[in-house]
Structure 1
Amino acid sequence: MRVLKRRAEPALAVRVAGEPNRGLPVVLVHGMASDHSTWRPLASALRRQGRPVVSVDLRGHGRSGRAQGAYRLDDFRDDLVYVLDVLGIHSADVVGHSLGAHTALRLAMHEPSRVRRLVLEEVPPMPRDEADLSEGITMKATLGEQVRGLLALVGNPFPVIRFDGRMGDEIVAEFDVCAPQWWSELPRVSASTMVISGGERSFLPPRHLRTVSEALPDSRFVTIDAGHSVHRDRRAEFIRHVEEFLGPTVP
């Protein structure tokens, strides 16, 4: 792991495989209470295709530092911008899961030219209005997902041990506020995008993810009936979709 240290912000840990300046890299961004290790199977598959891979530990996760103040969604986005800048990456394909997918999408909205292709696995949308708020869509796992998560925890407890638990309530609070401007800015995304839903087994209703996909200028929608953690619970199918979408080479 390479640790990018900063004065006023948390240090960020990244795992770099290959040479980011040779070929278009793929940046992998994990979900809440996870870390870069969740992407090992996908990272290995992408490396076999010759793609440079950068796996990021978001602030408050893994080997990255913890925030001194509150955790904010835009801070995660700005952390990705910093990683790209330090590594000299002008453009990349980005794959994100859950909070990481939301962060990747914010990056593509904020700096469209930095993202060529975008994979959003189980991306939680901001509430559009009071109807969305009343539906109570929050980043909390169903019972089945909790069981599968516990099994994964037994195999690799370190991501949860290193996770800054106070982050949860602060981030969920941002999803409890109507944000119609977030939806109005989705057309800024120029990246070709694949939105992956875990189907009806996920706590995120597929219809909301489909709505996100439909709001993006160039997007396809895929359902893999696996629940919230598709890349973990339907690994081979997930990797196949990502490989086909990203492609092994860049024109």
Structure 2
Amino acid sequence: MQLHTHTWGAGDRVALLIHGMMADHRTWRRVGPALAGRGYRVIAVDLRGHGASGRGEYGPELFADDVVETLPTGADLALGHSLGGLALSLAAARLKPKRAVFSDPAWHLAGPAEDLGAEVFARFKSAPREQIRAMNPRWEEADVDVELETLALWDESTALSLAPLLGTDLLPAAPVVPSLVQLADPSFLISPERAALLEERGFEVRSVAGAGHTIHRDDFDGFMASLEGWVPPL
């Protein structure tokens, strides 16, 4: 499936952004312009079932196939958050970015995710502003607005499609390209033990102190600081 995309900048470098469950390209409203300011042409997708992209069957391999079909190969940087991190890991060998960043990737669907179940995440589609604000006290009000707008367009069946994977360990055996794993503090998807295992497998792992799962909205400055050495400085 060809996905809807949004582009910031016109630099010589190319950066790809892949959002997480419930979101769309607007989750990157600060990251896209920031990377464009560092010389990138930034291309962000709406995954199937999200934003302005099409609907259909859902599953990690399908998300990854769409990303490969839509985005250019050989980008200088590819960055995926949560579900987007899982999709990127499944697409990396075909996308062939020079570098990859996995922001709190959905590589181990256990803990709170497993306890709550996919149905609870699907019901989050109708979450009111007050609930979103209470769950994300560090977000700017514009991010709460974006969350409400993206939830309205989101097909909650995408969450139900992940139910068979709850409790499954999806950690990659090795990085396909030089890779940074950026973790929330604490991460409910990647435990300290699994973080250590990722380091043993050749990933660089960094945590953003005190940040929640959506690191780039919870602590934008910390998010960008954690990319030092992976993106050019201003």
- What is aligned with 1:12? 3
- What is aligned with 1:230? 215
Q: Does residue 199 in structure 1 map to residue 189 in structure 2?
A: no
The one-letter code of the counterpart of 1:74 is: E
Q: Does residue 102 in structure 1 map to residue 89 in structure 2?
A: no
- What is aligned with 2:96? 114
Two-structure CA RMSD over aligned residues (Å): 3.2
Q: Does residue 124 in structure 1 map to residue 115 in structure 2?
A: no
Q: How many Å separate the matches in 1 of 2:205 and 2:190?
A: 17
Quote how far apart the aligned CAs of 1:203 are.
Answer: 2.7
* TM-score, scaled relative to structure 2: 0.79
Against the structure 1 CA distance between its residues 44 and 243, is the aligned structure 2 distance closer, same or farther, given a 3 Å change threshold? farther
- What is aligned with 1:240? 225
Q: Which runs of 5+ in 2 are unaligned?
A: 125-130
Q: Is residue 51–residue 248 contact of structure 1 (8 Å, CA) maintained in 2?
A: no
- What is aligned with 1:172? 163
Q: How many Å separate the matches in 2 of 1:23 and 1:190?
A: 23
Q: How many Å separate the matches in 2 of 1:169 and 1:125?
A: 17
Against the structure 1 CA distance between its residues 37 and 145, is the aligned structure 2 distance closer, same or farther, given a 3 Å change threshold? same
Q: Does residue 186 in structure 1 map to residue 212 in structure 2?
A: no
Q: Which runs of 5+ in 1 are unaligned?
A: 1-8
The one-letter code of the counterpart of 1:210 is: A
Q: How many Å separate the matches in 1 of 2:76 and 2:67?
A: 11
Q: Is residue 26–residue 51 contact of structure 1 (8 Å, CA) maintained in 2?
A: yes
Against the structure 1 CA distance between its residues 31 and 158, is the aligned structure 2 distance closer, same or farther, given a 3 Å change threshold? same
Q: Give the length in aligned residue pairs.
A: 220
Q: How many Å separate the matches in 2 of 1:52 and 1:212?
A: 33
Q: How many Å separate the matches in 2 of 1:35 and 1:247?
A: 25
Instruction: Using the aligned pairs only, state the percent identity.
Output: 26
> Cα deviation per residue 1:107-131 (whole Å; 9 max; x = unaligned)?
22x33x712111111112247xxxx
Quote how far apart the aligned CAs of 1:55 are.
Answer: 0.7
- Which protein is richer in helix relative to its size? 1
> Cα deviation per residue 1:95-144 (whole Å; 9 max; x = unaligned)?
11110111112222x33x712111111112247xxxx79x9477869x99
